[in-house]
Amino acid sequence: MTARTRTIEAAVSPSGSQIPEILAPAGGRDSFLAALAAGADAIYCGLKQYSARMAAENFTLEDLAGLAALAHSRGVRVYVTLNVMLKPGELDDTGRLIALLDREVAPDGIIFQDLAVVELARQAGFGGELHLSTLANVSFPEALALVRKQLGVDRVVIPRELSIDEIRSMAAACPEGLRLETFVHGALCYAVSGRCYWSSYLGGRSGLRGRCVQPCRRRYEQNDRWMRSFSCQDLSLDVLTKALKTIDQVAAWKIEGRKKGPHYVYYATTAYRMLRDQGQDPQVKRDALSLLERALGRPGTHYRFLPQRPRHPVAEGEAGASGLLVGRVRGGAGGAWLSPREPLLTGDMVRIGYEDDPWHALVRIGKAVPKGGRFHLKPVRGKWPPKDAPVFLVDRREPALAEMIQELKEALPTVSIAAGAAFRSRLPKPQRSRMPLVRQRIGRQWKAGGDGCWLDDACLKAAERSRQRLWWWLPPVVWPDETSRLAERIQAAAARGAAGFVLNAPWQRALFPDRLQAPLWVGPFCNLANPLAFQAAARMGFAGVIVSPELGAAELLALPAGSPLPLGIVLGGHWPLCVARSAPAGIELGETFRSPKDETAWAVMQDSNLWLYPNWPLDLKAHEEALVKSGYRVLVQLEETVPAGISLKSRPGLWNWDLTLR
């Protein structure tokens, strides 16, 4: 198959303003076709590898080539997600994949978070757009000009935490040729995207690699109360999207849901198309809201979209579960049943209980059940579900939608993919660093003899009493209203003779003056983990990289030999499970809470963000000699003030050292 020319243009209203595209998710073929049936303007989907939703069905190249051809024939754009953190040994494979995608599928864009993808796409001659994922955390206006100039991206997917006023400030800062994409519906992560290590820290399944096991959805106990304190409702902007229509720089309304079925995709896509095109009609609005209520997601929230009326993302009680509640278990051992509140169709999928209940189960309805009828349940792993356990409808197969999907299946072309040519990423010859070994002890409170601080007012004030040159660390997340104050702190620290600055998003480079004597380093929260990403950092003016501590031993020890920049590593200290913009629901800050597996943690507010820490620190000190011998030149110890009354556990803090990061 020859790649088709990408000539699909964005729609324009009669007034000349751009009409935002309705961007639908597709985790499998039927969901892709449901998006087409619903009238999506664009569809985003992932392949079997390098996708941030690896639990979805995803696509082979052959599958996607036929689906993309069908979409393009109907004027629908297709974007492919390659939005994971790339490990060192994956560069050649990713480059070959991009070349094959371009030749055989011709997607209209790639969604990425890793800086290496820009270079790989350039080498492959990729002809589509580059969209910077929300996992890259471009969270403040000043960053936009930098990512356009340095990376050449065409679109930035902005964080879900932004209010409409903050979105407007981002739009006003968009340089020519750059557009924004904003989420309007779907699951909310408790943590800021790209700043969650919870699943990885507890077991090697990284959210940055698309394998999150969603520990935030579990119950946690504090003071004898078990709560789902981090399990968010779904984002649902519904009628509030009318405010986004006034912002030309917002090119897409994005619906989250690549792990959802075709029913959800069809209902959510149809609803937002109606709200965009006929939202001024009261009856259309009511119909669209009804579709969203029955899309089988979680209860919806506007979250922070309205700055004058922000809502906490976590609801009280059990409202964080996905699916439509259709009844509760009746009867008991040996005779449990469900009497549904509404008819259940043949092929419907129901979930008994919540996802973290050890006895929960997914059950496919084999024969239609009328409203008020009786559907007999079976034991789950030898046990009957408890009486009054909730039952949720989580997927539906309406005959009408099935017919539409079948018609589209019959229109799919047959595609055969030829093997791709070999691809070698062209890395510069690394210059072995002659810099001396540097140790940084980074704390929230400056101490005499300390090596560095997080860049805040308290540390700056305390440091006035010393002539010591310090390393200053910027926060992992910077929100739009924080940039002017942070820029003032940067100037104050530089004026006092900073030893260097560690930036925890590459785009924070935009807050620094061009002429600055102190070196700038990429920090570990930037999630850089391969030599090609380090090369991109060098082009952006960084002097070194503190690598992602998520990697395993073999990858960490091999990195310095191929790096064009000197490298550092977090050797030990308090690494957060996540950073969030909202405090947890019902959890007292500064006190421990625990999971059913007796994993304990504690939470504190630092400036405007919530930091969640496990009560056992990262500790790679036993491997210091090997790391130094391999070439690491900066060794970091992160020091936090542990709240009174919290005792740290004595357990290994190796993270993924002995694991293969998945």
- The answer on 279 and 143 residing in a single domain is yes
The 8-class DSSP code of residue 583 comes to P
Cα angle 373, 378, 380 (rounded to 5 degrees) comes to 135
Asked if residue 304 is part of any domain, the answer here is: no
Rounded to a whole number of angstroms, the CA Rg of the chain reads 25
Count of the separate structural domains present in the chain: 3
For residue 3, the model assigns a pLDDT of 43
Mean pLDDT for each 10-residue chunk of the chain (662 residues)?
A: 49 69 96 98 92 71 95 98 95 94 96 97 96 98 98 98 98 98 97 97 91 92 94 96 96 96 97 97 97 94 96 76 91 85 94 85 94 91 86 93 97 82 71 80 75 92 83 97 97 93 98 90 98 97 97 96 96 97 95 92 95 96 98 96 91 92 77
- The answer on 468 and 388 residing in a single domain is no
- The answer on 453 and 405 residing in a single domain is no
**Cβ neighbourhood burial of 570 (10 Å; 0-12, 13-18, 19+):** buried
Question: What is the distance between the alpha carbons of residues 3 and 170, in angstroms, rounded to a whole number?
Answer: 34
- The answer on 475 and 343 residing in a single domain is no
Question: What is the distance between the alpha carbons of residues 28 and 260, in angstroms, rounded to a whole number?
Answer: 9
- The answer on 147 and 44 residing in a single domain is yes
Helix (H) or strand (E) run with residue 352 in it: strand 349-352
Q: What is the CATH classification number for the domain harbouring 624?
A: 3.20.20.70
For residue 331, the model assigns a pLDDT of 87
Asked if residue 196 is part of any domain, the answer here is: no
Phi, psi of 448 (to 5 degrees): -55, 130
Phi, psi of 390 (to 5 degrees): -70, 150
- Quick check: pTM over 0.75? yes
Asked if residue 37 is part of any domain, the answer here is: yes
Asked whether 68 and 54 are in contact (CB, 8 A), the reply is: no
The 8-class DSSP code of residue 84 comes to S
- The answer on 121 and 267 residing in a single domain is yes
Asked whether 511 and 483 are in contact (CB, 8 A), the reply is: yes
- The answer on 345 and 405 residing in a single domain is no
- The answer on 460 and 376 residing in a single domain is no
Asked whether 31 and 25 are in contact (CB, 8 A), the reply is: yes
For residue 524, the model assigns a pLDDT of 98
Asked if residue 433 is part of any domain, the answer here is: no
Asked if residue 543 is part of any domain, the answer here is: yes
- The answer on 553 and 445 residing in a single domain is yes
Asked whether 257 and 25 are in contact (CB, 8 A), the reply is: yes
Asked if residue 590 is part of any domain, the answer here is: no
Tell me which residue of 474, 654, 659, 658 sits closest to 570, measured CA to CA: 654
- The answer on 161 and 147 residing in a single domain is yes
- The answer on 242 and 163 residing in a single domain is yes
Asked if residue 423 is part of any domain, the answer here is: no
- The answer on 160 and 239 residing in a single domain is yes
Q: Which domain holds residue 376?
A: 324-395
Instruction: Give Cα separations from 187 to 123, 183, 607 (angstroms).
Output: 35, 10, 26
Distance between the two ends of the chain, CA-based, in angstroms? Answer: 33
Asked if residue 366 is part of any domain, the answer here is: yes
Spatial strand order of the sheet with 361-364 comes to 361-364, 349-352, 390-395, 324-330, 337-338, 375-376
For residue 56, the model assigns a pLDDT of 65
Phi, psi of 238 (to 5 degrees): 30, -115
Instruction: Give Cα separations from 114 to 472, 529, 555 (angstroms).
Output: 24, 9, 17
Residues found in the chain: 662
